[in-house]
Chain A
Amino acid sequence: MKELTTLVTITIGAILSNNFIFSQFLGCCPFMGVSKKIDTATGMGFAVVFVMGLASAITWCVYNWILVPLNLVYMQTVAFILVIAALVQFIEMFLQKSVPALYTALGVYLPLITTNCAVLGVALLNIQNSYNFIESVVYGVTGGVGFLLAIVLLASIREQLVFADYPKAFEGFPIALVSAGLMALAFMGFSGLDIFK
């Protein structure tokens, strides 16, 4: 039971109160870059969910089974980047083969997941919080879901913003950044959600 509670806490924390974008400010590059259309934003979101989940699992294994026994914990960042880069390469190949439309829609942002700090962040945070394997995977997947939620919300807002009447100087990224900032403020409201602690 206690195990389950921890998982629920992790889930709610990763999606709402400690959202990767809005309260940890990780992964902002694709968040701003691919949030023009809901379709591509959803695709990007799911790609990140997938990568973060898988990266959490593999980095946990690498850390606990290779780095810790060999006293190489100080190499964790390098090792994790290696894992993530290989993973993203693999996903790129997979998408190009099976979902070419999504592959072209994601364009340059797919390789950018490689250097996405959210993915590296989730790997490092798993270690920092000393999560076990299941907790790590849950944190990775739900962290990705938090990213998906954030990017789809912003994409919806940006699609509507086309019809808004704002000063011309705010066109494009400025107004998107303002919207993102306001969303981050709104998400701060969830920080009181510590019911399971």
Chain B
Amino acid sequence: MLNVISAVLVLGLLGALFGALLAVASKIFEVKKDPREEAVLGKLAGANCGGCGYPGCAGCAAAIVAGEAPVTACAPAGPDAAAAIAEIMGQSAAVGEREVAFVRCNGGTAAAKRFEYVGIRDCGAATKVAAGPLECAWGCLGLGSCVEACKFGAMRIGPNGVAVVDEEKCTDCMACAAACPRKLIVSVPASKKVRVMCLNQDKGKAAMSVCENACIGCGLCERECKKDAIHVVNGIASIDYGKCVNCKLCTKVCPRDAITPIATPEEKEKYKEIKKRQAEAAKQKAAAKPSLAKK
């Protein structure tokens, strides 16, 4: 009996002693933490994707509380979370439109190959071997470094060997963009569906020879656009999303099918037809006008 009591007493005392020591230590080694940090951390996406540029969600929360990062720093969490964080921080969030990642290449199997690459399945490694297996110096290598980087399962390599983004799942964290050695992945407004699927800055024949789907900088789209939203800059068509209204006229005149959604031959034909008719109508109108004036 005495044995039991002494055992309980000794272990109890030991536990109490260690507890007291820990209590003292916790005061000495106390880390002053802003309570807002916990609250902000709770609102972040929690994927530790690193898309914000800080080491994990805790780092991002600390940066937001310190005022180094904007309240919208966490793209994956979305505008609702940004608003909630803004409330914690006592600011109002400038909530922007939802954006998604987009791969600016549609080459893949349509792009000319210089050699068959059989090395490590990593895009960065592939670019180190004689500047990559593709003739095109801008094209997607399709080895899936972005797929690996995506924490949300939103990237995959499409059937034509080019990375594609699942826009439903994409949170615009842009971890894929950081992983892409060709810098092909850009952030675009999710609502704007018209996008140029090429970054090849070569012009005309040079671009044509490296890829069947390359933008050749011909400028047809630029002339077609009624809103002055698409321009050929550095040999590549690029869209100003402040002006684009999703009318898709540029897709219908692109001779290289480099603008998504790619218009089918029928659609293109139909558009040509309409244009022809419009031109004729305009001609007739012009011809009719002088006679009207005479009367």
Q: How far is the CA of A97 from the CA of B26 in the complex (A)?
A: 10
Q: How far is the CA of A75 from the CA of B3 in the complex (A)?
A: 11
Instruction: Find out whether the CB atom of A93 lies under 8 angstroms from the CB atom of B26.
Output: yes
Tell me if B7 is interfacial: C-beta within 8 Å of chain A: yes
B4 → A minimal CB distance (Å): 10
Q: How far is the CA of A86 from the CA of B14 in the complex (A)?
A: 10
Q: Chain B residues near A71: list those with CB within 8 A.
A: 3, 6
Instruction: Find out whether the CB atom of A75 lies under 8 angstroms from the CB atom of B55.
Output: no
Q: Chain B residues near A67: list those with CB within 8 A.
A: 10
Q: How far is the CA of A168 from the CA of B6 in the complex (A)?
A: 58
Tell me if A108 is interfacial: C-beta within 8 Å of chain B: no
Tell me if B18 is interfacial: C-beta within 8 Å of chain A: yes
Tell me if B42 is interfacial: C-beta within 8 Å of chain A: no
Instruction: Find out whether the CB atom of A104 lies under 8 angstroms from the CB atom of B3.
Output: no
Interface residues of B: mostly helix, strand, loop or mixed?
helix
Say which size band chain B's interface belongs to: 20 to 34
Q: How far is the CA of A71 from the CA of B3 in the complex (A)?
A: 8
Q: Chain A residues near B15: list those with CB within 8 A.
A: 82
Partner of A93, one of B25, B58, B59: B25
B 20-40 to A, binary, CB cutoff 8 A, 1 in contact else 0 = 011001100111000000000
Instruction: Find out whether the CB atom of A104 lies under 8 angstroms from the CB atom of B7.
Output: no
Considering only CB atoms and an 8 Å cut-off, how many residues of chain A contact the other chain? 23
Q: Chain A residues near B29: list those with CB within 8 A.
A: 93-94, 96-98
Q: How far is the CA of A97 from the CA of B28 in the complex (A)?
A: 9
Tell me if A8 is interfacial: C-beta within 8 Å of chain B: no
Tell me if A62 is interfacial: C-beta within 8 Å of chain B: yes
Q: How far is the CA of A125 from the CA of B14 in the complex (A)?
A: 22
Partner of A82, one of B11, B30, B58: B11
Tell me if A78 is interfacial: C-beta within 8 Å of chain B: yes
Q: Chain A residues near B59: list those with CB within 8 A.
A: 104
Q: How far is the CA of A3 from the CA of B207 in the complex (A)?
A: 79
Partner of B22, one of A90, A96, A104: A90
Which partner residue on chain B sits nearest A75 by CB separation? B7
Q: Chain A residues near B46: list those with CB within 8 A.
A: none
Q: How far is the CA of A70 from the CA of B31 in the complex (A)?
A: 39
Residues A57-108 near B (CB distance < 8 A): 62, 66-67, 70-72, 75, 78-79, 82-83, 86, 89-90, 93-94, 96-98, 100, 104
Tell me if B120 is interfacial: C-beta within 8 Å of chain A: yes
Instruction: Find out whether the CB atom of B18 lies under 8 angstroms from the CB atom of A83.
Output: yes
Q: How far is the CA of A166 from the CA of B21 in the complex (A)?
A: 50
Q: How far is the CA of A71 from the CA of B15 in the complex (A)?
A: 18
**Nearest 7 Cβ contacts at the A-B interface:** A86-B18, A97-B29, A93-B29, A96-B31, A90-B25, A72-B7, A89-B22
List, sorted by A's number, 19 A–B pairs whose CB atoms are closer than 8 Å. A67-B10, A70-B6, A71-B3, A75-B7, A75-B10, A78-B11, A79-B11, A82-B11, A82-B14, A86-B18, A86-B19, A90-B22, A93-B25, A93-B29, A94-B25, A96-B31, A97-B29, A97-B31, A104-B55
